[in-house]
Amino acid sequence: MISVYDELKQSLDGNVYKEYPIKDSTYFKIGGVVDIFVEPKNEEDLAQTLSIIGDRIPFYIIGNGTNLLFSDRGYRGAIIKIGCCFNGISIEGKKIRVGAGTLLSSTAKVAADNSLKGMEFASGIPGYVGGAVAMNAGAYGGEMVNILKTARCMDYNGKLYNFTSEEMEFEYRNSRVFKNSLIILSAELELEEGNKKEIYDRINHLAERRRTNQPLDKPSAGSTFKRPSEGFAAKLIEDSGLKGLRYRGAMVSDKHSGFVINDNNAKADDVLSLMRIVRETVFQKFGITLEPEVKIIGEEF
């Protein structure tokens, strides 16, 4: 019987790789080899990919790999990347139509260039639009729920949907994408008219705050833990005396304790061990259980 890899290779226009080092596609620069790595070229390619894989092997959808931690043992199945083949930006009035594989930073710049405000918060987030919509990404008081008008999605059977912002069922770092196994294909954002100089002043101000306060020079997955119902993860970690704590190659950043960073060729096991130490210590001191914001693939936490 023809293998899934061979069938994908023969049927798709996009890229299909066997035994792919997943660390090359994540910001953490951590992870082992995945069996199959697929980059569909378009929506038809994606639907064909899902049809071929079906229930034959496990699969996982990724974007720019900014909030992922893959196991050192890799992934036994297929990773499907919604990447640069799904990019593109167009503007009509105050609305921006953007592909899921477009960088948030690029989208925010296009908005600023067209004197549209409301997306400044996303100008320094390194992910793609698709992932940002899926997890309701946010920073500095802004979230995707505030600017999304509609999202075009595909389910794992290849069926297409268009959802309004209300129908996306947004929550903190969550949406119906994860609840209903959907894939973001594109989004329509609605912004406000503004002053270009003021918009860029805000973008530059936030960029300076990031450079000053975040460990941008080290691989990481951004904020490691979600904001708890009481307090802030970074402050709880720092107040527990854990800022700068190391475990082998992983480290609680000494610049921002909300980040666990790959400081010296860390393994996934190093990061997970350090995360467990952080969570246990914070719980013992404050009685608060921190939940991961980073998506952990192939390991239990």
- Is 173 catalytic? The answer is yes
- Is 188 catalytic? The answer is no
Give the contacts of 251 (CB within 8 A, at least 6 positions apart): 244, 245, 260, 261, 263, 264, 266, 274
What token pair was written down for 122? Answer: 């996303």
Cα–Cα separations (whole angstroms), residue 247 to 161, 264, 269: 45, 10, 10
Collapsed DSSP state (helix, strand, coil) of residue 138 = strand
Q: Are 53 and 59 in contact (CB under 8 A)?
A: yes
**Cα distance between residue 252 and residue 265, in whole Å:** 14
Please pick, among 25, 71, 186, 223, the residue that the annotation labels catalytic.
223
Collapsed DSSP state (helix, strand, coil) of residue 286 = helix
Please pick, among 152, 173, 176, 279, the residue that the annotation labels catalytic.
173
If we measure between CA atoms, which residue out of 191, 190, 178, 81 comes closest to residue 135?
178
**Cα distance between residue 297 and residue 108, in whole Å:** 29
**Amino acid identity for residue 299 in this structure:** E
- Is 19 catalytic? The answer is no
Catalytically active residues are 173, 223, 293
